[in-house]
Amino acid sequence: MNDDSRSPARLGFVGHINDNKFLKDIMRALSATHEVRLADYFDDDAVRRMVAASDVIWVEWGTDLAAKIATLAPDKRKILRIHSFEAFTSYPATIPFERYSDVIFVSEYIRSLVAQQVPDMEDRTRTHIVRNGVDLSRFSLKTGNNPFDIAFVAMFRHVKNIPLLLQCFAALHARDPRYKLHIAGDFIGAEVDVNELGRYLSHIIEAMGLAGSIIFYGRIDDVHAWLADKNWIVSTSMREAHPLNLVEGMAVGLRPVVHNYPAAREVFDAEYVFNTVDQFVEMVLTSECRPERYREFVECNFPLDGQMEHIARILALGWDAGSGAARGAARSAAPSADGRREERGAAGAPAPGLVDADAPENRRVRSLLNLAEHYRRRGEEAKSEEYLAQARALMGKGPLS
């Protein structure tokens, strides 16, 4: 690459080469305007070469390696993205946040957990909420409709709460044995955890008499094709930030049924969230499935182009090496991933007189307004007015309640 100042900046990403599902769309989009490299997190030599050859370094996952990479090339700008599990470890307390110009979170809940460990984080860096975007060109709306097929997609470990999934399905199956549970994924984790969970699942499925109604597929390469003949997508996780598997399932037209993990209402409307086994059963038995509506929800709230617009604005922000405190005090007022402006003060509270659009109680109004704008841009004024009227009706019941 030449030294022409007009040449695209060189972006170096540090992530997991064999598991880059959260990065691949971002890297592909940025490669149109930047020179993009990826180094594996665990290959020290590759990381050092990439850092030396890059203008901006993007580090995925806020672990001990993020603390280590922060010390490399102190004169170069670095961006860190934290997903979810990191907030439940002691890693954040070890990260020198002042060496990162910007820290991206995919959930306000996760940002708040990290801030509990690092109370002065906002004084040391800029933070942003950028939710995962979905490339809808990769997901066509399903045409078939088998109302009794339920999908579950995850890597099998304790946080996915598969025992609760089986209890929910057993209760549903007792009410209507036509339902089948299709499970895609594989076991990960320590040997003892994998063996314990595997033996338990085999035992309890047989004990509940569900062996003929639960099908395991292993890891699926083409998840889109696998989802196409299902009707529901379920999550029983205890921890998520912005679950891409559920959002991609909605993009195909599956109806989400989501256990109420902390921050579930940041992402999903109340009609998709359950607390108890009984609520799960009633939700499945009484809900009308509307594939177009679920895809519209993703298109309007989590589009890839919205995520990329926000990332582009972050990349365009200035950075003065060594001025972490000043950068933190000037926390950015950048639009959120769906294109709306998130204006906050230094402490992260909504600016006076503004509505916190990420608050769970405002999520339905936000979705309706996004749908109205979406159809207005497509020239479908009647449909736009329909959604706008629904938003106004909800807003008329109180302050965006």
pLDDT at 362 over 70: no
Chain centroid, CA 81 distance in Å:
12
Which pLDDT belongs to residue 20?
Answer: 72
Can you tell me the mean pLDDT for 369-385?
A: 71
- Cα 292 from Cα 294, distance rounded (Å): 6
Which pLDDT belongs to residue 337?
Answer: 37
> What's the pLDDT tens digit per position in 341-358?
333 333 333 333 323 444
Contact 357, 391 (CB under 8 A): no
> What's the pLDDT tens digit per position in 113-157?
999 999 999 999 999 999 999 999 989 999 877 899 999 999 999
Beta bridge partners of 134: 303
What is the residue-averaged pLDDT of the chain? Answer: 84
pLDDT grade, residue 334 (50/70/90)? very low
> What's the pLDDT tens digit per position in 64-80?
989 999 999 998 999 99
pLDDT at 395 over 80: no
Over 301-335, what HEC string results? Answer: HCEHHHHHHHHHHHHHCCCCCCCHHHHHHCCCCCE
Beta bridge partners of 320: none
More confident residue, 272 or 370: 272
pLDDT at 340 over 80: no
Lowest mean per-residue pLDDT among 200-209, 260-269, 365-374: 365-374
> What's the pLDDT tens digit per position in 280-309?
999 999 999 999 999 999 998 999 999 999
227: phi then psi, degrees, rounded to nearest 5: -75, -20
Over 234-293, what HEC string results? Answer: EECCCCCCCCHHHHHHHHHCCEEEEECCCCHHHHCCHHHEECCHHHHHHHHHHCCCCHHH
DSSP per position, 132-171: PPB-GGG-PPP----TTEEEEE--BSGGG-HHHHHHHHHH
Which pLDDT belongs to residue 381?
Answer: 81
Which pLDDT belongs to residue 355?
Answer: 34
Lowest mean per-residue pLDDT among 21-35, 254-268, 357-371: 357-371
Which pLDDT belongs to residue 379?
Answer: 72
Lowest mean per-residue pLDDT among 89-98, 162-171, 267-276, 392-401: 392-401
Nearest-CA neighbor of 12 among 58, 67, 43, 49? Answer: 58
Lowest mean per-residue pLDDT among 33-37, 105-109, 283-287, 369-373: 369-373
Which of 16-20, 180-184, 320-324, 379-383 has the highest mean predicted lDDT (pLDDT)? Answer: 180-184
- Strands 77-82 vs 255-259: parallel, antiparallel or unpaired: unpaired
Which CATH number fits the domain 136-301, given the four candidates 3.30.450.30, 3.40.50.2000, 3.10.20.30, 3.40.50.2300?
Answer: 3.40.50.2000
Give me Rg for the CA atoms of the chain.
22
pTM of the model: 0.78
Can you tell me the mean pLDDT for 377-401?
A: 68
pLDDT grade, residue 339 (50/70/90)? very low
Can you tell me the mean pLDDT for 189-205?
A: 94
Domain edges within the chain: 10-133+304-329, 136-301, 360-395
- Cα 373 from Cα 369, distance rounded (Å): 6
Of the chain, the percentage scoring pLDDT greater than 70 comes to 82
Beta bridge partners of 216: 183
pLDDT at 172 over 60: yes
pLDDT grade, residue 166 (50/70/90)? very high
pLDDT grade, residue 363 (50/70/90)? low
- Do 136-301 and 10-133+304-329 have the same topology in CATH? yes
Can you tell me the mean pLDDT for 220-246?
A: 93
> What's the pLDDT tens digit per position in 174-188?
999 999 999 999 998
CATH class of 10-133+304-329: alpha beta
